[in-house]
């Protein structure tokens, strides 16, 4: 039987694998996609300490290499469920035999909800972003737009207003869904404006980077092109937690309810990274979760031995 199974090979899972290897745990990290999670599909990362401007794929490879050098064991697979029998957890896989373990760290992350419009995927990392906190500094003095109308969109617009020369909020309705006080504050900023009753139908490019967006009025269906250097899509996140729902630890938005120690309500099951309900979701906070989760796992395994 394993001491620990880590599900997910993003920053949280890889950090947990490094710490588990250092603690000489009998652990396996299961990955279904490319190691690194979202950072593997990101352009430059400019906010991780000591690695300014590192390319996302390079960073992901460095994380995985570090884990391998420490002795972490990887297994390819897709987890379909977890059977909880008290001190024993059975990890069910789409292909292959189940794994039995004493403890589990779920670190499958969350993915940004996309709009699915032409140009979006091709320009991701080249002007299309899903994180203003991560990428806002790349657009200093430039014109950008934020697509969305909720709290995240408003927070992104507020953050970007300090860096970009102009921020355009594009929303399909005639008012923002965000909290009224926050909406009023951001709309009162001189370099922030709103395009109401409008949807983005295409992201345009020039020289491999974003050059503008095609916007359609939802009432009269007229289209126009807005020249912008960056498009920030803020229509929510989708936590990858379907396999955890039967355990009763997932909230109405799909996030796992776990504290800063990463403990869930199920003894021996921990949650780390972007799938956890929390205020800030960054590479550095995911990595911190991975370390915190291992400390909690160690304490849990010690209690089992008593």
Active-site annotation holder among 3, 46, 95, 135: 135
Dist CA 171 CA 277 (whole Å): 26
Residue (of 102, 36, 99) closest to 274 by Cα position: 36
Active site residue 289: no
Q: What are phi and psi of 21, to 5 degrees?
A: -65, -40
Displacement of CA 278 from its chain's centroid (Å):
12
Helix (H, G, I), strand (E, B) or coil at 251: coil
Pairing of strands 209-217, 223-227: antiparallel
Element (H, E) at 128: strand 128-129
Active-site annotation holder among 46, 95, 134, 274: 134
Q: Provide the angle, in degrees to the nearest 10, between the axes of the packed helices 11-22 and 283-305.
A: 40
Dist CA 32 CA 287 (whole Å): 19
Active site residue 262: no
Residue pair 237/276 in contact by the 8 Å Cβ criterion: no
Dist CA 272 CA 6 (whole Å): 10
Active-site annotation holder among 3, 46, 95, 131: 131
Dist CA 81 CA 171 (whole Å): 38
Residue pair 34/40 in contact by the 8 Å Cβ criterion: yes
| Catalytic sites, residue numbers | 131, 134-135
């Amino acid at each position: 039987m394993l001491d620990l199974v880590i599900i997910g090979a993003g920053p949280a899972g890889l950090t947990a694998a490094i710490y588990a290897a250092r603690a000489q745990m009998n652990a396996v990290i299961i990955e279904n996609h490319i190691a690194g999670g979202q950072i593997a599909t990101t352009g430059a990362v400019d906010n991780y300490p000591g690695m300014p401007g590192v390319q996302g794929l390079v960073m992901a490879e460095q994380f995985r290499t570090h884990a391998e050098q420490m002795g972490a064991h990887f297994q390819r697979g897709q987890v379909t469920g977890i059977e909880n029998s008290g001190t024993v957890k059975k990890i069910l896989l789409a292909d292959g035999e189940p794994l039995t373990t004493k403890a589990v760290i779920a670190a499958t992350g969350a993915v940004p909800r996309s709009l699915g419009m032409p140009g979006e995927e091709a320009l991701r990392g080249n002007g299309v972003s899903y994180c203003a906190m991560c990428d806002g500094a790349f657009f200093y003095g430039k014109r950008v737009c934020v697509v969305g109308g909720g709290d995240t969109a408003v927070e992104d617009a507020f953050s970007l207003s300090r860096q970009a020369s102009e921020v355009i909020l594009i929303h399909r309705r005639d008012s923002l869904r965000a909290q009224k006080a926050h909406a009023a504050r951001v709309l009162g900023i001189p370099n922030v404006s709103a395009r109401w009753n409008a949807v983005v139908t295409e992201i345009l490019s020039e020289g491999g980077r974003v050059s503008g967006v095609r916007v359609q009025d939802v009432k009269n269906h007229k289209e126009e092109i807005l020249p912008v250097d960056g498009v920030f899509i803020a229509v929510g996140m989708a936590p990858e937690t379907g396999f955890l729902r039967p355990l009763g630890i997932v909230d109405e938005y799909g996030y796992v309810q776990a504290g800063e120690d990463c403990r869930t309500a199920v003894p021996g099951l921990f949650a780390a990274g972007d799938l956890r309900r929390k205020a800030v979701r960054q590479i550095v906070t995911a990595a911190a979760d991975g370390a915190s989760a291992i400390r909690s796992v160690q304490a849990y395994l010690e209690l089992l031995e008593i």
